[in-house]
Structure 1
Amino acid sequence: MAEQFKEQGGVATMDPPRMMRWLTSRLMTKISSPRAVAARHRKAEQARLKTGAPHRVDYFHQVEEGYSALTAQLLHRLVERYDIALHCHLVRGQEGKNAPEPELLARLARCDSALIAPGYGLDFPADVKEPTAELIAAANEILAAQSQEDFPQVALTVSDALWRADLATMSELADRLGRASPEAAEAALEAGTQKRRELKHYSGAMFYYGGEWYWGVDRLYHLETRLAALGADRQPGSQMLAQRPTADMKGARDDGQYTLELYASLRSPYTAVIFDQVVSFAETAGVTLNLRPVLPMVMRGVPATREKGMYIFMDAAREARAAKVPYGNFYDPIGDPVRRCYALYPWAVSEGKGVELCSSFLRHAFALGVNTNTDRGLRRVIEAAGLDWSAAQAHRSDKRWEMTLEANRQTMYASGLWGVPSFRLLGPTGEPLLSTWGQDRLWLVAQTLRDELAKREL
């Protein structure tokens, strides 16, 4: 099965040379450490103070993207709450290797935005279709004509009309607020996209402050925390604008009738952050946990770029710090280490230790800095999972894992998902109740399960 996916080379190689694996691992460990992050923050603040500049936050808005529709609802509140100079830029969607599944991504963004909006006190229509080219052009032309001061409020109004497919309102807004020429709007889009590229990012709904990126409403709490620590919060002590909901079952508990499927890979930084939390959640919530491992993205032909890989690893480290999860002492397990562990997975499952094996591997690779490409490292993984190293030897050439992981991948794709960690919550008869992607969606799983359990009590 693994042979069907093409070796891409470069930063997306699935089998790096030993020295490259070591160097990459040391670099990522160093730059993501709390000390390195704090040093970068101090340097950025010292540079700001030296020039007397305001707290400048750059925001990159993609009008036809669901996540940008959510951030548009918070821009004016962000400016009111924090002592910042907000600079807004229009951008195009992800491009090239940063967008391996553009149509799936756009559809997922719309569906996901509708699911998470209520948790943040925001609005986004359910089952909404992709905006028409005419509406998208009108939205960009109106916003390209606005001043930085007016952009936050106008973005909210324009976004509302766009997602309601309300051409009449859009025309009225253009008449009242002004509209740039198509050429000027294209120039604004190109300028914003180029600035984002220069700052080494690729997505819409992104905030950039002091050398660090913050994605949409999901990561805004990190930016809010940083600004508050610098004394830029005008309402210190008040609840943040984008406080992430918690995965709290609020006393509700299942009796094993519901199933939580976890799609995970052994080289995913986000999986490493959330894996043990999912296991703990399933135990607390009483749901049946069904672990469905898949190959890492680059090992199944999904392209990657250096900027995307860097952002993901740094963001995962930031999320781990916030969740107080051990993370960051990294030894890259891509390629053979992943294959060697997966070869033992069917045996571990037969021993009742499949979850423990994956948990141990992720912990050793992402938190303990163990080289899982050696027998010594793999033995530490196996024994920490409660398995016998000697007994494992008979299973090291097992190929059954390939069919299992490919079946899991196909099921994941059929659910409109292609990355990990992803979740599917299934009802008592196996009906899908929720399909969602991201380590920051466990709260959504909890909310959906709570709602379903409440229905059963009526």
Structure 2
Amino acid sequence: MSLKTLAPQILTSPTLRSLGRGRHALQRRLSGKPRTLHAFIQRDEAYSQLLVQALPRLAERYAVEIIWHEVSPPERSAAPEPEKLAAWSLEDARYLAEAYQLDPGEQDLPAMSTPAHGDALRARLGHYGSAMTWFEGEWYWALDRLHHLERRLGGGDDLIFAPIAEPDHAGGGSLEVFLSLRSPYSYLAAMRMFDLAEDWNARLTLRPVLPMVMRSLPVPATKRFYIVRDCKREAERYGLPFGKIADPVGKGVERGLAILIGEIERGRGKAFLQAFMTAVWAGGVNAASDAGLRRICDRAGVDWTEAEADLAREDWRDIVEANRLDLFAGGHWGVPTFKVGERMAFGQDRLWLAGQWLRADA
């Protein structure tokens, strides 16, 4: 096993996570300090406006204290499309506010430390974003990850911020999915969305794009580390394997996309997509090598002769670029993004919203 494959396994190890939690809890007990949440708030950000309403509800139920820190917006390297992000955040916050019975408008903010102090502490604790809660070694984003925090604080089945469930049925329609082979969040979506689309009687269309880093948008290390740990928690929730990673960036992605486009055209995109994603995010398979790619094709039932013909093509580049242009034209930039009609929702956490749109359109 290579060091590149071993490192993410260690980083996402549940045993290492448990040891870290135990160490922090012991230090707290020895110091006599209360359980304390550190909340990092961006003054003009929609998700932060929701978080200042949500955390006091957790503090009351679970007997924790909150220390509020004001922070600056993330650097462009961590949020490469700040205007698109801000616009989507405002829209998305309205959906979340309705689901959790919160106010989507501007809030009176609590007393906070200065941005200079907040930015420094955020960096020291290993993050880059806003609307983040830190508790004893782990980060929780906005409202979507508070269920993980609640369970850690002792919450049972009756969580205040339980994950929003996807509808169990809808009346059909079209669901387009923009995704990247290098996105672990796309992996989490890819392993669930086909069954959901079947429940919804929806036609699912795959719209793959190149990953950001292959579009000259490098991802900072703090963001990569957070994403991997966060995806591990989410994968555990869905019962999916994750952590034995062979990053397909570069040649692995390009070769995978060439075959995926061919399989989509042959009406068999699901099998290859799921086989590829499982192999690189949970199986440690090197998709850049012939041996690794053949292994993926075998699992997906793809004839290697057909795969070789796909690899000889170059028109897949035009297709994925057209997908990217459509994604940006819709006001979005990241993956996975779900499109129903003219509405688009970003993030694997928003499959429920796509399902609601399909149900409402029936």
- Bin for the TM-score computed over the shorter chain: over 0.9
1:383 aligned onto 2:302: no
Deviation per residue, 1:37-65 (Å, 9 max, x gap): 22222222222222222112101111200
Structure-1 residue corresponding to 2:153: 227
Which residue pairs with 1:314 in the alignment?
Answer: 229
1:44-59 maps to which residues of 2 (within 5 A)? 44-59=24-39
1:246 alignment partner, one of 165, 175, 183: 165
Q: Is the 8 A contact 1:264 1:421 kept in 2?
A: yes
1:65 aligns with 2:16: no
Q: Does the 8 Å contact 2:176/2:338 carry over to 1?
A: yes
| Cross-structure match for 1:25 | 5
CA distance in 2, matches of 1:394, 1:261: 26
Q: Work out the CA distance in 2 between the residues paired with 1:67 and 1:50.
A: 35
- Aligned partner (choices 122, 131, 139) of residue 196 of structure 1: 122
SS of the aligned residue for 1:97 comes to coil
2: CA distance between counterparts of 1:225 and 1:215?
15
Which whole-Å CA distance do the structure 2 matches of 1:446 and 1:331 have between them? Answer: 32
Match of 1:368 in 2: 283
Aligned residues of 1:353 and 1:385 also touching (Cα < 8 A): no
With over 3 angstroms needed to count, the CA separation of the structure-2 counterparts of 1:395 and 1:237, relative to structure 1, is closer
Match of 2:55 among 75, 81, 99: 75
Residue of structure 1 aligned with 2:248, choices 333, 338, 342:
333
The 3-state SS of whatever aligns with 2:192 is helix
Greater Cα shift, 410-419 or 71-80? 71-80
Q: Indicate yes or no: 2:74 matched with 1:157.
A: no
- In percent, how many aligned pairs have the same letter? 37
Cα pair 2:76 2:82 within 8 Å, conserved: no
Question: Which SS does the other structure have where 1:292 is aligned?
Answer: strand
Please tell me whether residue 449 in structure 1 is matched to residue 358 in structure 2: yes
Pick the aligned partner of 1:216 from 118, 121, 142: 142
The one of 321, 327, 333 equivalent to 1:412 is 327
For the residues of structure 2 that align with 1:351 and 1:415, how far apart are their CA atoms?
Answer: 27
2:310 is aligned with 1:395: yes
Contact 1:56–1:209 (CA<8 Å) still a contact in 2? Answer: yes
Is there any run of 5+ residues in structure 2 with no aligned partner, and where? none
Q: C-alpha displacement at 1:237, in angstroms?
A: 4.4
* Structure 2 equivalent of residue 118 of structure 1: 98
Length-normalised TM-score, structure 1: 0.75
Q: Which amino acid aligns with 2:350?
A: R
**What is the aligned length?**
362
Find the aligned partners of 2:29 and 2:6 in 1 and give their Cα distance: 32
Conserved 8 A contact 2:206-2:264? no
Pair 1:305-2:224 in alignment: no
Within 2, Cα distance between the matches of 1:189 and 1:350? Answer: 51
Question: 1:346 and 1:84 mapped to 2: Cα distance?
Answer: 50
Distance in 2, Cα, partners of 1:276 & 1:403:
26
Partner of 1:153: none
- Asked whether the equivalents of residues 263 and 420 of structure 1 are also in contact (C-alpha less than 8 Å), the reply is yes
**TM-score, structure 2 normalization:** 0.95
Q: Is the 8 A contact 2:8 2:245 kept in 1?
A: yes
Whether the aligned pair in 2 keeps the contact of 1:278 and 1:442 (CA below 8 Å) is yes
| Code of the aligned partner of 1:370 | V
Q: What is the DSSP-based 3-state SS (H/G/I as helix, E as strand, rest coil) of the residue aligned with 1:253?
A: coil
In the alignment, residue 118 of structure 2 is paired with which amino acid?
G
* Secondary structure in structure 2 of the residue aligned to 1:218: coil
SS state at 2:44 partner: coil
Q: Specify the SS of the correspondent of 2:319.
A: helix
Please tell me the residue identity of whatever aligns with 2:63. D
User: Structure 1 counterpart of 2:116, which letter?
Assistant: E
Please say if residues 77 and 220 of structure 2, whose CA atoms lie closer than 8 Å, have aligned partners that are also in contact.
Answer: yes
What is the CA-CA distance between 1:121 and the residue it aligns to? 1.9
Q: Distance in 2 between matches of 1:435 and 1:369?
A: 32
1:262-290: CA deviation from partner (whole Å, max 9, x where unpaired): 11111101011121201111111100001
Cα displacement (A) at 1:30: 1.5
Q: Distance between the aligned counterparts of 1:102 and 1:346, measured in 2?
A: 30
Aligned-residue CA RMSD (Å): 1.9
Partners of 2:175 and 2:205 within 8 A in 1:
yes
Query: C-alpha separation between the residues in 1 aligned to 2:310 and 2:131?
Result: 46
Output the CA distance in 2 between the equivalents of 1:350 and 1:77. 50
- The AA in structure 1 aligned to 2:125 is L
Gap runs ≥5 in structure 1 = 1-18, 126-130, 132-155, 160-179, 229-235, 427-431, 454-458
CA distance, structure 2, for counterparts of residue 79 and residue 307 of structure 1: 28
Kindly indicate whether the alpha-carbon contact (under 8 Å) linking 1:57 and 1:208 is maintained by their aligned counterparts in 2: yes
1:273-320 residue CA offsets vs partner (Å, 9 max, x unmatched): 121201111111100001000011101122310001111111111111
Report the Cα distance in structure 2 between the residues aligned to 1:73 and 1:212, rounded to whole angstroms.
21
Q: Partners of 1:415 and 1:25 in 2: how far apart? A: 36
Q: In structure 2, how many angstroms separate the alpha carbons of the residues matched to 1:83 and 1:339? A: 50
Distance 1:326 1:193, change over 3 A: same
SS in 2 for 1:87: strand
